[in-house]
Amino acid sequence: MKRLLLFVLLGCLFLAPALADRPVDKTVAADPDGEVSVELIAGTVHVIGWDRSEVQVTGVVGDDVEEVEVVSRGGDVSIEVKLPDHDDDSSDSRSFNDADADLEIHVPADCLVEVEGISADITVEGVRGAVDLESISGEIEVDGAMQEAEVATVSGDIVLSSAEALREGEFESVSGNITVRAALVDGDFSFETVSGNVELHLPGNTSASFDIETFSGRIENEFGPEAERTSEYAPGKELEFTTGGGDAQVEIESFSGRIELRVD
């Protein structure tokens, strides 16, 4: 989350990318329980979990991409889409018009996956380890069996489904919607948007304490209690309630978006 502002500033330096057209195909050894990190400016990243102790990177990149650097150190793997350095005082100084990277990355299913992008769509599937995903103007979609998730966008939607119960989660979007389908147990969870909607699909036996607030959006709760106005002079609403033993701590905030709690 902490690098989102930096990415916004960096994104202003680049024009819209053109079609990527150079192939990439690299494979390196990896620790099955290690970390795989990905950094890029624009394009798409599709991460797929598999039961191999290696990381495979395939895809295509634009003409302005210098290289896709894939490095394995101590079992952790870093993948960086590198662009040439241009001195502002040189005649070669210019904006990058073809900096796209469209990558498919196979990773050990139990590893920690970190992806950072500016204008990049991110898809993750089949991963059982934790995910830490950031994009400025991209969609993020996750379908796996992870127990920890940290996901942030500015203008893109977030959709996450986990076959395993989440034990910790942080979700943030400015103008995009957040949709999560998973059980929430034990840990702390936060969901925050400005103009986007938050939609949680949870099991009926969820044990959690909920603290929900919106300034101008509405709150719909299939677990029972109804939201109350925060003031007779303002449109804000809030809702605090507990289900079961209140094991998970859930905070949800939206300025103008709708908040929905659905029983799956």
The whole-model pTM stands at 0.87
Percent of the chain whose pLDDT exceeds 90: 80
Q: What is the pLDDT of residue 166?
A: 98
The whole-chain average pLDDT of the chain stands at 89
Which residues fall within 8 angstroms of residue 78, CB to CB, at 6 or more apart? 36, 37, 39, 69, 70, 71
Q: Tens digits of per-residue pLDDT, 136-158?
A: 999 999 999 999 999 999 999 99
219 confidence band (pLDDT: 50, 70, 90): very high
Summarize the confidence of residues 111-138 as an average pLDDT.
97
User: Taking the chain, what is the end-to-end CA distance rounded to the nearest angstrom?
Assistant: 29
Q: Is the pLDDT of residue 18 over 50?
A: no
CA distances from 40 to 24, 96, 107, 247 (A): 14, 13, 17, 38
Q: Is the pLDDT of residue 234 over 70?
A: no
CA distances from 167 to 138, 151, 164, 209, 216 (A): 26, 14, 9, 14, 30
What is the amino acid identity at position 138? G
Summarize the confidence of residues 79-86 as an average pLDDT.
89
